[in-house]
Structure formats: C-alpha cells, structure tokens
Structure 1
Amino acid sequence: MLVGVKRETRAGERRVAATPASVRQLMKLGLDIAVESDAGVQAGHDDAAYRTSGADVVARLGHVDVLCHVAPLTPDEASALRPGTITVGFASPAAELPTVSALAQAGVASFALELIPRISRAQTMDALSSQSLVAGYRAVLEAAIRFPRFFPLYMTAAGTVPPARVLVLGAGVAGLQAIGTAKRLGARVSAYDVRPASADEVASLGGSFINLDLDAIEGSGGYAREMSQDRAARQRELLAPHVAASDVLITTAAVPGRPAPLLVTTDMVAGMKGGAVVVDLAAETGGNVEGVKAGHDVAVPGVGGTVTLVGMKDAASAMATDASRLFAANVANLVELMTVDGRVVPDFNDDVVSAACLTHDGRVMHQPTAALLKGVP
C-alpha cells in the first residue's frame, strides 16, 4: 500500500506529517512511502533526507491509499480523494464541517487525531497532547521576549531584582509545560484549573495552586467541560486579584469542540500593572482573554502603563522541527496500529480506531460532528 505525505499549504503551517525517522518506521511495516517535494523543509528535513530513509519524493502526490497530513484538508482536497482512501491528521471537525461533509461524500475513511481517546494505550498517538506540550513551552518564550524585566530573582551590588510573577490558567498539558518552563526561567509561578486534581501536578513542577473554593468541573477524558454563566462569572470575580498581581498571564483553557471559555475580561486586564504581558494560547478558538486577536499583539490600558495581549497562532508550528518529530510519531503509531501484513486495514472493534474515526463508508461516524452537520445544537 502507498502512504502519501502531504506538503502543507495552509498559511502559517510549517510542520510535516512524517519525518525521515517515521518514514523508516512505516517502511518496516511493509508500506511504500511517497513524500511531496519540500514537504519537510520548514521542519528541517530536505528531500534528500527522505530519499535516504527510503521514501520516494514526488513533485505532486497522485492517488494514494493512505494520506498523512497535519492541517485539516480543504473541501476540494477531500473531494479529490478516491473512495476507500484513508486519511490521518488533524481535522478540526467542529470548525471544518464542509470538509467533513466532503470526506463523507467521497467515501473516505478519515481519522482525526483530535479524537484519539485519552487512555493509556493511546498515549503514543495523542497528538493533541504532544502539540500542546510544544505550545505551552512556546507561550512562555513569547512572554519572556515581550516582558521588560527578568524572570528570575537577581541579587546584585546595585540592588535586588525581584522575580516575575507568572500566573497560568489551565493546567492541562500546555499549562503544565508553561508552568515548568516559567519555573525553570526563575519566575514565581502560580496556576489555576477548574479540576482540583491538577493541584498535585502543579506542585510537582514548583508552582502554587490557587484554590478558589468552587465546585470541580471535570469532563470526559480528563478535559474540563463547559460551566454555567453564573459559575463562570463567579470564577472571574475570584480570579481578578490574582490576575492583577501577576506580571505575566498565560491562558491555556479549552473545551474540545467548543469556543474557548472567557476567563479574563477587559476590566481584569485593566487591573494589571503596566508592562505586564498576557499570552493566550486559545486565541484561535475565540480566546480566554477578552480583546485578544489571534496572530497579533494588542496594547491595552493597565495600571500606570499598557498591557500587551499576545494572541498565539500556530504555536506548535513556530517550533516546527520538534513539533513535527512528535506529530509524525503520533501519526506513524496510529498507522501501525491499523496495519496488518503490509496493509492498512482499520479494525473498528479496536476502541482507539473506532474513537478516532471521523468518516467511513459515506457516513460521519463521530456523532457530535454528525449532529452539527444536521443543525442539531
């Protein structure tokens, strides 16, 4: 069977769905690999590296049995696939409904990495976690670049420089990576999450967990779930003094398939000191911070100066080499799970395979997405 690796064309996307190392992994399964020319250049892998790994490098992919990609396909790309083609990559099903419909109509068996279940045996395929790790690290670097002070404490002959106070909202994979990175840079770090069970993980990284004395909000698969408007308002009220006391605020909260929850209002930002920096990792899905713009820095009034709102966009792609290393491994591991005797044959009795399947045999298999396509709220 022929596995094709797509050259990403979406603006800002620098990652690639297969690296030379993952190509070798797939070839050991008896699969043939074709990589579009320059697919890995922005991730640090030239065509020669893919040829050395055993892949064919082609100017343009023709018909393939399995298509590996990073960004969601366009409706035109989906419609051009042959019936029975298998796709593996991100799909953003709730935001890319025309593509989902096109995949179903084309008879494509599509597997969305966002839908990989958070169970132990699927950890090596969990691209949301691997890419969130990259994004959390990058968020701290972006904040440090813009912050007009040091992160660590310095005691010098000229006086003492106090450490920066960093507050992280959301203690999932991205949040925990942000906490650990900020701590390694010497900042004083605190964090909040609606799941109290996160407190031990925050403490293990050297952060202080903020307990707002609110009921836990735990969703499926370890994710948070949406909260009522009254509870959200109360949470913002209790968080306000913590936000005001921070020099750097990093927000990472997301609810799968839904717009990002609003955690920080304009009034809360206005209480921060001039020079403070806010980095919103959820900017592309609406933002956790009011007034944030994905891909842009916005200066807003603070106390005695301006506060910089940083709307992160393509955060993982900004570190394309390591992001691709992890993503390609996730893709290869899922393909390996579905491969038997040199053929990719999905076993829908496998709970990982069935959960990750978005479309198959002309139908939308992921029920929440199917409901959205039917206009069911």
Structure 2
Amino acid sequence: MFKNAVQLFEIFGFKLRVDPSWLLIAALIVWSLSTSYFPEMLPAQTATFYTTLGIVAMLGMFVSLVLHELAHSVVARAYGLEIGGITLFIFGGVAELGEEPHTPKSEFQIAIAGPLMSLALAGLFYLASGPFIDGDNIGAIGAVLGYLALINLVLAVFNMVPAFPLDGGRVFRAAIWQVTGDVVRATRISSRIGTFFGLFLMVTGAFAVFGGQGIGGVWQILIGFFVINASSGSYQNLLVKNALRGKSARMLMSDLLWTVDADASIAQLVDDVMLRHGVSFVPVLSQGRLFGYVDTAGAGSIDRVEWSTRRVFEVATPAGPDNMVTPDTPLDEVFKRLGAGTRRKLMVADAGKLIGVISLSDLVHYLALQQEIGTPMKTGH
C-alpha cells in the first residue's frame, strides 16, 4: 500500500514505517504551531523559540500516533492476525492488518483499542500539564503538554465517528455483524455511512474555503476524499476476499498452453508460437520440466537478425517463487500477488511440472461474472 515508506525501527516486533507524505503534515504542524498556537499561548518570544516548541510538539504527536496504532496492533496480534507493520502517512497512521478480523468480538476490541489509547494519552498529558500552568500563566512545557492533550482528545473523538474505515466505523460494523451474523452486510452499511461522512467533510470543507478559512478547508476536503475512497475500497476488498475464499489456483487456471523448448531458436518462438497462436507469454520447458517463461520483451531484447541463432533459454526468465504458484495456492493469495506487482500472469506448477497458467484477467473476469450473476458469498468464519 505504501511502496515508498521508509522503515525507521521495530517496536514489540512491529515494523514502524514512515511514508514521505508524513513529512508534509509534519511540516504543516510545525508551521501552524510556531506561527499561531505558541505565539498566542506564549507571547513575546523569538521565532526560534516557537519553532523549537513546534518541533517538540510535532514529535509528541508522532509518538501519540504510533501508540494509537500500536494499541490496534497488539490486540490484533493477540487474536492471531498477521500485522504487516505500522505506517504513518499524510492522513495519520495505519496498522496494516494482513487479514480481516474473524469475529465481531475481535473486530470490536481491535478497533476500540486505538481510541482508548488516545483517550488515555489525553488524560496523561492533561494531568502532566497541571504543574506547569498557574492561572493565566502557562509555561512552555505546559503549552506543549496542553497541545498534546488536546490533539489526542481530538484524535480519539474523530476516530470514533461511526464511519468506516475509521475506528468508530469498525466498532459500528462489529455491532451490526454481531446482530446480523453477516460481515458483508455489516461492511456495506458502515461503508455507506463512511461515504456520506466523507461527502459531508468535503462539502463543509468547500464552504470553509469559500468562507476564507483557506488551508483548513482544503485539508477537510482532502480528508473527506480519503475517507470516501478508503470506505469504498475496504468494502470492495471484502467482496473480493469472500468471492475467492476457499478456492485455489487450480479452479481458474488455463490448461490450454502453448509452450516452447528452452533449446528452440528465438525465431521458432516468435513465428511458431507467439505470432501463430497470438500469445505474448510463453512457458519454457527443458526436458519436459518447467524452466521458466519468455515474453515479447524478452524476445525483443535480441536483435532480429540474431533470432535464428540465439536460443530461448538465453532470454527466458527462470521459474521461481515470484512467477509461479502451486495448484493449491489460495485464489486470494494469487490475486494479492498479481495485484501487487507488474506481472499479470503466473505459471501453475506441481513438483516442477507445468500444469497451467493463471492471469489477472482470469480473476477479474471471474469476479465480474460472479457479481453479475449474484452468486451468494460467504460472510465470514
């Protein structure tokens, strides 16, 4: 999801990554605090002083976001769910679950853990700020701690809005799931609320922009756009997972194959296989066993005048875990692998013997047909 994220360190076995987009929000936070919040709270100080406090407060917010997502991750791991890591990005942070929670109870407890952590942090920062506040006299430490108390409270309250995929939306989904026993229906309802909430944010943000609030309104529009896309994407991902659950590559692979021998010339590959049968992806065999594959890019990498003397094995990509699956590989795993990279076809092999090829188009066509026919989907386990 975050291909450009940089890993900083591990905490309790969870990899903490920061997407470059986080740098933008970090800079905006420092700028806003150093030009508005701290000058108002602590007048008659230097710009350097305000900037320093802004950086300290931003780092405090960074730690708060990490702890919020860490709470989600620890509870998820307790339920045996795979955690891909914790990533901070422009809209906050996300604990990357490798799979959906299996029960309404686990969904509820994983979702509620983050806001509870933020509420606890808000309380701790508020109590810690007390000794540094004397009536209207607020010291630098008090101002920073007060800001962190406020931002954690806002984080907790905002995340508890019952709009999927916010934490509150997941809590709401868990409740519907518990009552109906249908995770797809629960996700559809909470996702629609998430879409309406996103639209609300965008509309009110637009009014704010026209009302002269500038950056605040634009930021609200961006958050609304993110919520809409995330809620819709989460629902579609669940539909895909349910449609593919319990099925393997054997079901959708094509066993009508055009292959080429590793010792054949590139001219034979192009003329007798690719052009004759209209295929651009050709598995390569050597003594009856799978050697790898060759595509049009591989053939085109050799000058045409050398095609009759050069051999297929010279341009073939060897078979390996990144381009090959077994017939028993779950379809959702196949879909994940095909969707994550640039490769659109995978060879299906068993004990070194080629038995088929499965493509992304095969999966997309299957999903489209299933949606069109309206085949009932499993709703969880």
Shared fold, TM over 0.5:
no
The structure whose RCO (Cα within 8 Å, separation 6+) is larger is: 1
The structure carrying a bigger helix percent of its residues is 2
Alignment TM-score, normalising by the size of structure 2: 0.27
Which structure's CA Rg is the greater one? 2
Alignment TM-score, normalising by the size of structure 1: 0.28
